[in-house]
Amino acid sequence: MGVPRVYCSCEVCLEARNGEGRNKRLRSSLQVDMADGGVTWIDCGPDWGRQMEAANLRSIDRMLITHAHFDHIGGLPEWYDACRWSDVRGIAYSPTEVIAEINARFPWLSSRIELRSLDEPIVIGQWRVRSWRVNHGKNGYAYAFRFQHERSGYTWVYCSDAIDLTEEQQEPLRGVDLLILGTSFFHEPYPRETRSLYDVREAMELFRLWQPKEVILTHLSHDIHIDHRDALPANVRYAETGMRVELQL
């Protein structure tokens, strides 16, 4: 939902609303700048227009979409309009079953945005990109993306919405250089069957198995105060709005 939540006056929401705003969070999204691959965006939530303004970007080269939930595709109509007014065709990649859901939601979208399958790996610049399906608890399924650099082998993964992954689904998460993982809560107290993302405590247990070199936690709710990072190991950070990360290939 982003932070502050409109109905809420908790400590984190108040800091986001009335303080310096260090806890102010938009819906999760990622801009990927590649030397030979232009500008790729991962997910197009309802804050997309504001995020583009914050990045001072007028257009992007392509969009990758993890799944068809509102917080990840709610900005597609705005991107569609931007493409229409600039008279360009947008290019979006997503697994076939996600494309079907997007088409059902926005039947007119494909007249201006070309939806291409990401069932098989694609190459963007010097990166090989593959997707795989991950469990998303009560909310069904999502996809995660794995980027591998063709020369250096550097590997990073974007997995924003996942819980209760099978052994097979965990395999591509092992031993990566950088893992960007979604965790909404530090400790989510609700019954398992109502949940849809790992919380921070569960994620830290999994990092013992997966052994990522570096972790950034994203998709954070008002349950997480940016200053409360004592419990995190040195290689794990909370994402912040506008955060920039340079990869050391």
Q: Determine the Cα–Cα distance for residues 211 and 247; give it in Å rounded to an integer.
A: 18
Alpha-carbon distance 157 to 181, whole Å?
Answer: 8
- Write the burial class of residue 128 (CB in 10 Å: 0-12 exposed, 13-18 middle, 19+ buried): middle
Structure tokens at 17: 């609303």
Chain-centroid distance of CA 223 in Å reads 18
Counting other chains too, the contacts that 197-205 makes at CB distance below 8 Å and 24 or more residues apart are: 197/136, 197/137, 197/161, 197/162, 197/163, 198/162, 198/163, 200/224, 200/231, 200/232, 204/231, 204/232, 204/233, 204/236
Cβ atoms of residues 30 and 21 within 8 Å: no
According to the binding rule CB under 5 A, does residue 10 interact with Zn ion? yes
Q: From the CB of 222, what's the least distance to Zn ion, in Å?
A: 3
Tokens of 136: 């998303």
**Is 14 near Zn ion (CB under 5 A)?**
no
Exactly one of 222, 225, 239, 241 binds Zn ion (CB under 5 A); that residue is: 222
Q: Give whichever of 7 and 85 is closer to Zn ion, judged by the CB atom.
A: 7
Q: Which is nearer to Zn ion, 83 or 102 (CB)?
A: 102
Stretch that binds Zn ion, among 29-37, 162-170, 198-206, 222-230 (CB under 5 A): 222-230
Q: Which stretch binds Zn ion (CB under 5 A): 46-54, 65-73, 81-89, 103-111?
A: 65-73
Closest separation between CB of residue 144 and Zn ion, Å?
A: 12
Distance in Å, CB of 88 to Zn ion, minimum? 28
> Which residue's CB is nearer to Zn ion, number 69 or number 127?
69
Nearer to Zn ion, 10 or 247 (CB): 10
Q: How far is the CB of 72 from Zn ion (least distance, A)?
A: 6
The number of beta carbons lying within 10 Å of the beta carbon of residue 194 is 9
In angstroms, what is the minimal distance from the CB of 182 to Zn ion? 7
- Here's the x/- map for Zn ion, 123-162, by CB under 5 A: it reads as --------------------------------------x-
Q: CB neighbours of 54 closer than 8 A, spacing ≥ 6? A: 241, 242
Which residue among 8, 55, 91, 232 contacts Zn ion (CB under 5 A)?
8
